[in-house]
């Protein structure tokens, strides 16, 4: 294959894209890299764009290295203890600095270019892939890595019907959330809710927050491990068997779930589609509730707000709503009525592909949806993407959240780092 001087294109400049670049730059692969991302800054994405230092990483520093060959890289950069939960804004700085450091280390062998534009289309050629950008330019590449994420948030009809109203905020990361309100309702009680609630509680001592979710549960706190639990020799043929294994360890459920993490993509891969469907329909919220924990100091702040009656958690759903002159009337499933000044959507991202480029490529058959129409389809071992006919592309890769349907556990930094190293090793051959 004749190689273009700009051989590899990474589509997307969030954490997945930047870690992909870092791994390639530090690998034996003699490849030049273009990274297509419209934003000025790289590595931030949704997760690390926050400027609020009260927003902490949800895993300890010892697990946040962006360099596969150096597990302590972030911990040493941040001068943090292994079990310390560092402000999330610092991780964005870390990714940017580590990328620049990697560029300098590889400067004599490789060239890195940030293309500040969106990829609009691509087509296969005899020598690779022809790519068109939003600025009307085109380039040819020998390999492409999609690191776009799934993008769109879940929504509720209230955010569609009342779209544009400053009291109704659908995407909390794309909009500056006002803190002047006295009483705010938040849909969802996961990690996005935690960030938004803590910011508002800190900024406004008089604010009252009502969190509404189907389960009415707040995230658990991390805890120091007190047992070693292994699951290497166990099989999990059903969705229920996964849940039973974690629950059977009672107070050591954290260690039990953590023991599944490194091998969960393989467990997921071996599940029948019917069992995957059961897991998503019946146990997904249970898994996420146990899996996505917060730093102990963050949990303490939530408990304090609950005790002070500044934070309330309600199990239920919004059945009806009405925009009044100076408030929003919410009617919940049990008939409870709330009057709030504003409502925020913190229900998380959709699992189906919503990225426009990926949707277009699926439509023309260049890509295919993942299992149960979640994410995009790929080869389990190589992460090479599949076409609509099931063909595995030679040099078209996926990384991070877009592989949710194939790997399920594919959004945390250790998993993304491992995937990036896998792809870099293949490109080096």
Residue where a domain terminates, one of 291, 317, 334: 291
Same domain, 24 and 108: yes
* Residue 299 structural domain: 157-220+293-345
Same domain, 51 and 130: yes
Q: What separation, in Å, do the N-terminal and C-terminal C-alpha atoms of the chain show?
A: 13
Same domain, 414 and 326: no
Domain annotation covers residue 103: yes
Domain annotation covers residue 30: yes
Quick one: pLDDT at residue 29? 82
Q: Across the 429 residues of the chain, what is the mean pLDDT of every consecutive 10-residue run? A: 65 95 91 93 72 82 94 96 91 93 86 94 92 94 91 72 82 73 92 90 91 90 89 93 95 94 93 96 91 92 95 91 89 90 85 87 95 95 96 96 94 94 93
Same domain, 375 and 341: no
Residue found by looking up tokens 């120091």 in the block:
224
- The CATH number given to whatever domain includes residue 49 is 3.50.50.60
What sign does the dihedral 389-395-401-406 (CA atoms) show? positive
DSSP-based three-state secondary structure for 40: coil
Same domain, 77 and 36: yes
Domain annotation covers residue 270: yes
Domain annotation covers residue 229: no
Quick one: pLDDT at residue 101? 94
Same domain, 208 and 337: yes
Number of domains making up the chain: 3
Pairing of strands 119-124, 342-345: unpaired
Domain annotation covers residue 72: yes
Q: What is the DSSP string of 209-278?
A: EEEEESS--PPPBP---------TT----SHHHHHHHHHTTGGGHHHHHHHHHTTHHHHHHHS-HHHHHH
pTM of this structure = 0.90
Same domain, 197 and 297: yes
Same domain, 211 and 109: no
Same domain, 29 and 67: yes
Same domain, 42 and 75: yes
Same domain, 167 and 54: no
**Can you read off the two tokens belonging to residue 26?**
């530090």
Domain annotation covers residue 161: yes
Same domain, 204 and 89: no
Domain annotation covers residue 320: yes
């Amino acid at each position: 294959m004749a190689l273009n001087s700009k051989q590899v294109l990474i589509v997307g400049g969030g954490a997945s894209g930047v870690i992909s670049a870092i791994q390639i730059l530090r690998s034996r692969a003699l490849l030049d890299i273009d990274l297509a991302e419209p934003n000025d800054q790289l590595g931030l994405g949704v997760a690390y764009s926050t400027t609020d230092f009260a927003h902490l990483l949800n895993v300890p520093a010892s697990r946040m290295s962006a360099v596969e060959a150096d597990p302590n890289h972030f911990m040493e950069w941040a001068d943090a203890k292994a079990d310390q939960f560092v402000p999330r804004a610092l991780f964005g700085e870390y990714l940017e600095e580590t990328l620049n450091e990697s560029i300098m280390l590889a400067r004599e062998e490789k060239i890195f270019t940030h293309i500040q534009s969106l990829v609009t289309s691509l087509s296969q050629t005899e020598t690779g892939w022809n790519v068109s950008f939003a600025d009307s330019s085109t380039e040819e590449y020998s390999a492409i890595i999609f690191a776009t994420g799934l993008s769109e948030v879940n929504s509720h009809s209230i955010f569609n019907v009342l779209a544009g109203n400053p009291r109704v905020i659908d995407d909390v990361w794309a909009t500056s959330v006002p803190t002047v309100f006295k009483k705010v309702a938040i849909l969802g009680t996961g990690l996005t809710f935690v960030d938004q609630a803590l910011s508002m509680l800190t900024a406004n001592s008089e604010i009252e927050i009502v969190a509404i979710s189907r389960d009415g549960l707040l995230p658990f706190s991390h805890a120091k491990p007190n047992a070693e639990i292994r699951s290497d020799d166990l099989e999990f043929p059903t969705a229920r068997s996964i849940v039973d294994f974690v629950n059977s360890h009672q107070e050591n459920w954290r260690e039990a779930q953590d023991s599944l993490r490194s091998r969960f993509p393989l467990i997921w891969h071996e599940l029948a589609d019917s069992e995957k469907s059961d897991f998503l329909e019946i146990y997904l919220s249970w898994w996420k509730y146990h899996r996505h924990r917060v730093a102990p100091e963050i949990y303490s702040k939530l408990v304090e707000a609950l005790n002070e009656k500044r934070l309330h958690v309600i199990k239920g759903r919004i059945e009806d709503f009405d925009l009044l002159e100076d408030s929003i009337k919410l009617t919940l499933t049990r008939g409870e009525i709330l009057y709030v000044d504003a409502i925020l959507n913190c229900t998380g991202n959709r699992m189906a592909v919503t990225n426009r480029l990926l949707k277009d490529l699926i439509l023309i058959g260049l890509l295919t949806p993942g299992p149960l129409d979640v994410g995009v389809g790929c080869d389990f071992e190589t992460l090479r993407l599949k076409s609509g006919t099931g063909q595995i592309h030679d040099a078209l890769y996926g990384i991070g959240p877009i592989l949710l349907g194939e790997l399920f556990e594919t959004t945390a930094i250790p998993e993304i780092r491992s995937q990036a190293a896998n792809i870099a090793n293949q490109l080096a051959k």
